[in-house]
Amino acid sequence: MGCCRPKRPMLSLARVRWRGQRESDQVEDRRGLRVGRGGIALGGGGLLLLFAVAVLTGQDPLQLLQIVAEPPQVSVEGESEGRRGTPEDELGRFAATVLGSTEDVWRRKFTEKGGEYQLPRLVLFSDQVASACGFNSAAVGPFYCPADQKVYIDLSFFSDLDNRFAAPGDFAQAYVIAHEVGHHVQNLLGISGKVHAARGRQSEEEANAMSVRLELQADCLAGVWAHDANRATQLLEAGDVEEGLAAAAAIGDDRLQREAQGYTVPESWTHGSSEMRARWLRRGLEGGDASACDTFVRGAP
Ligand SMILES: [Zn+2]
């Protein structure tokens, strides 16, 4: 492991039409700030990003996958909040625009159901960050922390892509943010809370199966966002949907395991197979209906 450059096709880089659209001011810019050393955690979207970065830079994602861990509960005293508002650089503005678009879509959907959407905050960081879920290394990619309702992203991953391809705007990047926001939606709806509460009473296999359902639902919710955002602002260009599906398919547990160890163990999956991830993303994308994202019904995923 770690010896070989992964042999995978490059993801196509479809653009997102983000310029001129509303940028969220719920961004906390902690790039350049230093925090103490600590544990590491891997969000589901982190896998996608790891994969995308590995493909584009020739690094081995499997090495990084070895460090998957639950976030440790540690104090985050002394952590600076960083600059609040809307970033001024290209990558920061792109992330703020995608976040703003998720705010518009989910606010509307919650209001339609008589609810109120609480805005999550997006924390941009570099190298490592302290959240209410612990200290996390940038190597593991984006994650959502339910305890502080924030999505954490190290944009240096995006930055690598940016340097190679001249501009941000790749749908795969937007999808990563939307997936993490999907976890925020699950948190507001009490879904992730129930799943975590049940964890102590379950076998590892059962807990993994629940994790798969949670992750597939976040994929589906990301698809719902893309559907509505596209309808409202023609956010996506032709080819983006296919790119999103390809990205989701590329990071299924089955494919990652087969590449890591030559075989797959479905009982140990935590995010779902390539086919499942692409299928649930498509379901959200095609209908734009969050209630169709019920990955917890009997028979699913
Ligand atoms: Zn996830």
Distance in angstroms (rounded) separating the CA atoms of residues 211 and 214: 5
**What was the pLDDT predicted at 9?**
33
Averaged pLDDT for residues 86-111: 93
Q: Ligand 1 centre from 48 Cα, in Å? A: 9
CA geometry: angle at 101 spanning 94 and 165, to 5°? 25
Q: Ligand 1 centre from 272 Cα, in Å? A: 11
pLDDT band at 128 (very low <50, low <70, confident <90, very high): confident
Averaged pLDDT for residues 104-121: 96
Q: Ligand 1 centre from 21 Cα, in Å? A: 26
**What was the pLDDT predicted at 158?**
67
Q: Give yes or no for residue 123 having a pLDDT over 80.
A: yes
**What was the pLDDT predicted at 228?**
93
Q: Ligand 1 centre from 294 Cα, in Å? A: 15
**What was the pLDDT predicted at 59?**
46
Q: Ligand 1 centre from 105 Cα, in Å? A: 19
Residues 249-266, buried b or exposed e (16+ Cβ, 10 A)?
bbbbbbbbbebbeeebee
**Of 59-68, 178-187, 242-251, which gets the smallest average pLDDT?**
59-68
- The winner for highest mean pLDDT among 50-64, 103-117, 143-157 is 103-117
Report the share of the chain in percent with pLDDT over 90. 33
pLDDT in tens, 34-44: 765 443 344 44
pTM of the model: 0.77
User: Which of 91, 106, 98, 123 lies closest to 16, judged by CA?
Assistant: 98
Residue position matching structure tokens 């019920």: 294
**What was the pLDDT predicted at 247?**
67
pLDDT band at 71 (very low <50, low <70, confident <90, very high): very low
pLDDT in tens, 210-261: 999 999 999 999 999 999 998 887 777 766 666 667 766 666 778 777 777 8
**What was the pLDDT predicted at 273?**
85
Ion ligand 1 neighbours (CB, 5 A) are 44, 215, 218
For the chain, the residue count is: 301
User: Which of 165, 124, 168 lies closest to 28, judged by CA?
Assistant: 124
Q: Ligand 1 centre from 213 Cα, in Å? A: 10
Q: Give yes or no for residue 11 having a pLDDT over 70.
A: no
Q: Ligand 1 centre from 250 Cα, in Å? A: 15
**What was the pLDDT predicted at 178?**
94
74, two tokens = 């540690």
296, two tokens = 């917890």
Distance in angstroms (rounded) separating the CA atoms of residues 7 and 10: 9
Distance in angstroms (rounded) separating the CA atoms of residues 28 and 175: 20
Pick the more confident residue, 301 or 179: 179
Q: Give yes or no for residue 46 having a pLDDT over 60.
A: no
Distance in angstroms (rounded) separating the CA atoms of residues 99 and 179: 11
**What was the pLDDT predicted at 260?**
77
Averaged pLDDT for residues 84-98: 89
Q: Give yes or no for residue 286 having a pLDDT over 60.
A: yes
